[in-house]
Chains A and B, each alone.
Chain A
Amino acid sequence: MKKVSVSFVLNGDPVTAEVPVTWSLLKTLREHFELTGAKEGCGVGECGCCTVIVDGDAVNSCLYPVPEIEGRSVVTVEGIAEKDGTLHPLQKAFLENNAVQCGFCTSGMIMSAKALLDKHPDPPEEDIRTGLSGNFCRCTGYVQIIEAVQMAAKAKP
Chain B
Amino acid sequence: MKAFDYVRPTSLEQACAALADPSGSAVALAGGTDVLVQMRASGLRPSTVVSLRDVPGLSFIRADEDGGVTIGAVTPLGEIEHSPVLKERFAAVAQAAAWVGSAQVRNRATVGGNLCNAAPSADTAGPLLALDATAILEGPQGRRRVPLTEFFTGTYRTARAADEVLVEIEIPEEMGQFGSAYWKHTRRKAMELPLIGIAVALRMSQDRSQIQDARVALTVAAPTPIRAYLAEDFLKGKPLADEVLREAGRIASSTDCCTIRTSLRCEAWYREEMVQVFVPRMAKRAAERIKLP
Contacts and interface: CB of A to CB of B under 8 A. Distances in A.
Interface of A: 1-2, 4, 20-22, 24, 43-46, 48, 51, 57-60, 62-65, 67-68, 70, 112, 115-116, 130-131, 133-135
A64 B105 CA distance: 10
Interface in B5-27: 5-6, 8
B147 interface: no
Nearest to A52: B104
B102 A134 contact: yes
A133 B103 contact: yes
A134 B103 contact: yes
Contacts of A65: 6, 29, 32, 36, 49, 51
A22 B3 contact: yes
B212 interface: no
Given A21-B3, A65-B36, A59 B102 contact: no
6 contacts: A2-B4, A20-B3, A44-B40, A63-B37, A64-B32, A135-B102
B interface, size bucket: 20 to 34
B2 interface: yes
B193 to A, nearest CB: 11
Contacts, number: 86
Nearest to B2: A22
A46 B191 contact: yes
Given A45-B102, A68-B51, A134-B191, 5 more contacts: A2-B5, A59-B104, A64-B108, A65-B36, A65-B51
B87 to A, nearest CB: 16
Contacts of B139: none
Nearest to A61: B104
A133 B49 contact: no
Given A68-B32, A68-B53, A130-B190, A48 B104 contact: yes
A67 B50 CA distance: 11
A22 B33 CA distance: 15
